[in-house]
Chain A
């Protein structure tokens, strides 16, 4: 939300706290991708997404209103 675009010594945890409430892109180890609004996450990197779209090989496969993703499957999270 803030205009803080300058590089700073933020930790991965800071990043995760910053992106809560934003639209994110989550890639799993299996290659499946999820896009949605990040409602929260925890120390295991378990993720709660709202308005989730599931993409397999880049194609939209499913939509979920709310989705829980088990953290061990997560490869990365990025902002979109």
Chain B
């Protein structure tokens, strides 16, 4: 494979994850859950070991009074976490504002 673009450290999508090893990652999971933590390990299923994790759960309450819905988030911290790959939707670097 010739590297003609100069930026082709990334040859397959999983390389993006590999480049985040030992760095902070942002995960978007099924069930309106988000994780931020240090990526210690991963495999081809996207099973991951994360350290010093902050989990953010977004909860939508639908009120009976027709006021529509209110959204709130719950945070919790976990020192070490195994994430099963099939729950992963997206992997990226942590958002600047988080």
Interface residues of A (CB under 8 A from B): 28, 30, 32, 39-42, 46-48, 52, 62, 64-70, 72-73
Contact = CB atoms under 8 A, between A and B. Distances in A.
Contacts, number: 57
B89 A47 contact: no
B90 A40 contact: no
Interface size class of B (residues with CB under 8 A): 10 to 19
Contacts of A62: 95
Tell me the dominant secondary structure on chain B's binding face.
mixed
Interface of B: 10-17, 26, 46, 85-86, 88-93, 95
Contacts of A69: 13, 89-90
B90 A65 contact: no
A39 B92 contact: no
